[in-house]
Structure 1
Amino acid sequence: MKPRDLIELLVLAAIWGASFLFLRMGAGEFGPIALAGLRVIGASLFLLPILAHRGEWPALKANWRAIALVGIANSALPFLCFSYAALAITGGLSSIFNATTPLMGVLIAWAWLGDKPGGHKMVGLAIGFAGVLWLAWDKASFKPDASGASSGLAVLACLAATLMYGLAASMTKRWLTGVPPMALAAGSQLSAAIVLLPLVLWRWPDVPPSGHAWGAAIALALLCTGVAYVLFFRLIGNIGSTNALSVTFLIPGFAIAWGGLFLGEAVNATMLVACAVVLVGTSLVTGVWRPRIGSRAGVETRDTAG
Structure 2
Amino acid sequence: MNPIELAQLVLLAALWGGSFLFIRVGVTDFGVAPLMALRVGIGALFLLLVLFSRRPAREALGTLRERAWPLFIVGILNSAAPFCLFAWAELTLSAGVTSVINATTPLWGAVVAYVWLKDRLSGLRVVGLAIGFAGVLALVWDQVVTHAGDGASSTSAALAAFAALVAAALYGVAASYTKRHLTGVDPLTVAAGTMTGATLVLAPFGSHGVNLAAISAAICTGPHAHEDRTKRYMAAVWCGIFYLIAGTFGATIAALFAAFPQALVVSIAALALFGSIMSGLTNAMQNPREREAALITFMVTASGLTLLSIGAAFWGLVAGVMTQFVLNARRA
Q: How does 1:215-294 map to 2 (within 5 A)?
A: none
Q: Please tell me the residue identity of whatever aligns with 1:85.
A: A
Structure 1: give runs of 5+ residues left out of the alignment. Answer: 212-306
* Structure 2 residue corresponding to 1:131, chosen from 122, 131, 135: 135
Q: Whole-Å Cα distance in 2 between the matches of residues 150 and 27 of structure 1? A: 17
Alpha carbons of structure 1 residues 5 and 12: separation in structure 2 relative to 1, 3 Å: same
Displacement of 1:76 in angstroms is: 0.2
Residue 68 of structure 2 is matched in structure 1 by 64
Q: How does 1:27-176 map to 2 (within 5 A)?
A: 27-55=27-55, 56-138=60-142, 139-140=144-145, 150-176=156-182
Is the partner of 2:184 in helix, strand or coil? coil
Residue 20 of structure 2 is matched in structure 1 by 20
Q: Whole-Å Cα distance in 1 between the matches of residues 95 and 210 of structure 2? A: 23
Q: How many residues align?
A: 207
* 1:83-124 deviation per Cα after TM superposition (whole angstroms, max 9, x unaligned): 112211121111111111011011111111111311321001
Are the equivalent residues in 2 in contact too, given 1:31–1:205 (CA < 8 A)? no
* Structure 1 residue corresponding to 2:198, chosen from 187, 192, 208: 192
Q: Whole-Å Cα distance in 1 between the matches of residues 43 and 35 of structure 2? A: 12
Structure 2: give runs of 5+ residues left out of the alignment. Answer: 213-246, 248-332
Displacement of 1:203 in angstroms is: 8.1
Q: Whole-Å Cα distance in 1 between the matches of residues 211 and 24 of structure 2? A: 16
Are the equivalent residues in 1 in contact too, given 2:93–2:149 (CA < 8 A)? no
Alpha carbons of structure 1 residues 135 and 202: separation in structure 2 relative to 1, 3 Å: farther
Are the equivalent residues in 1 in contact too, given 2:97–2:140 (CA < 8 A)? no
Displacement of 1:152 in angstroms is: 1.4
Q: Alpha carbon RMSD of aligned pairs, Å?
A: 2.8
Q: Normalized against structure 1, the TM-score is what?
A: 0.62
Say which one has the larger Rg.
2
Q: Whole-Å Cα distance in 1 between the matches of residues 168 and 194 of structure 2? A: 17
Is the partner of 1:198 in helix, strand or coil? coil
Q: Please tell me the residue identity of whatever aligns with 1:26.
A: G
Is the partner of 1:177 in helix, strand or coil? coil
Q: Normalized against structure 2, the TM-score is what?
A: 0.57
Identity of paired residues, percent?
Answer: 46
Q: Please tell me the residue identity of whatever aligns with 1:11.
A: L
Is the partner of 1:5 in helix, strand or coil? helix
Q: Please tell me the residue identity of whatever aligns with 2:160.
A: A
Q: Please tell me the residue identity of whatever aligns with 1:167.
A: V
Displacement of 1:147 in angstroms is: 8.5
Displacement of 1:30 in angstroms is: 0.8
Specify which structure has the bigger relative contact order, considering alpha-carbon pairs within 8 angstroms and separated by 6 or more residues: 1
Are the equivalent residues in 1 in contact too, given 2:110–2:172 (CA < 8 A)? yes
Q: Whole-Å Cα distance in 1 between the matches of residues 140 and 18 of structure 2? A: 22
